[in-house]
């Protein structure tokens, strides 16, 4: 039996491949993004986070009040295969959001823009039960996207 595709791939990439690129994926007071735009933005953020050292299995703490930023951050974290951990030295926090990488802090928008040079691709398969754990942890984002819905 073939292994299922990764949760990051199924949440965004697959919808774009299947022709739903222009359908609305995220609608918040901060703006509206199609599936293609949400894929591009979250992959860009993941690329910027990867450039700062976030890798598969690495711990990361996420705590941002803005829904738009929350969604982008969750999708970027899952795209990289990072692990949620409240005690992590790598973090995405505050409003406006900042990325903490050890002792250094960067504006999230700067990290996002830097990642546009080399956006992160989704892994084809998750390690172990990663997808299931992330769907339990971030079901407010992932369940809706996996079913082709619109996040608000």
The answer on pLDDT for 1 being more than 70 is no
* β-sheet bridge partners, residue 27: 32
Tokens describing residue 65: 């009040």
Most distant CA atoms of the chain, gap in Å: 45
Within a domain: 124: yes
The answer to whether residue 3 sits within a structural domain is no
Handedness of CA 124, 128, 129, 133 (dihedral sign): negative
Assign residue 136 the CATH number of its domain. 3.40.50.980
Question: Which residues span the domain enclosing 123?
Answer: 24-145
Dump pLDDT digits (tens) for 115-140: 999 999 999 999 999 999 999 999 99
Kindly tell me if the per-residue pLDDT of 2 is higher than 80: no
Number of domains in the chain: 1
12 in any annotated domain: no
Residue 95 lies in a domain: yes
Instruction: Tell me the per-residue pLDDT of 24-33, one tens digit each, with 9 for 90 and over.
Output: 999 999 999 9
Distance of CA 76 to the CA centre of its chain: 2
């Amino acid at each position: 039996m073939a292994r299922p595709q990764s949760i990051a791939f199924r949440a965004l990439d697959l919808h774009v491949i299947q022709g739903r690129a222009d359908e609305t994926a995220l609608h918040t007071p901060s703006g509206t993004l199609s599936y293609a735009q949400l894929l591009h933005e979250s992959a860009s953020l993941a690329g910027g986070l990867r450039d700062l050292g976030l890798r598969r299995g690495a711990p990361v703490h996420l705590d941002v009040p803005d829904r738009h930023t929350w969604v982008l951050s969750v999708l970027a974290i899952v795209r990289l295969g990072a692990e949620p951990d409240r005690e992590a030295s790598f973090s995405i926090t505050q409003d406006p959001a900042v990325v903490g990488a050890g002792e250094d802090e960067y504006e999230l928008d700067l990290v996002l823009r830097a990642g546009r040079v080399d956006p992160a691709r989704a892994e084809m398969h998750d390690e172990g039960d990663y997808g299931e754990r992330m769907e339990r942890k971030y079901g407010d984002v992932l369940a809706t996207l996996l079913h082709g819905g619109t996040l608000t």
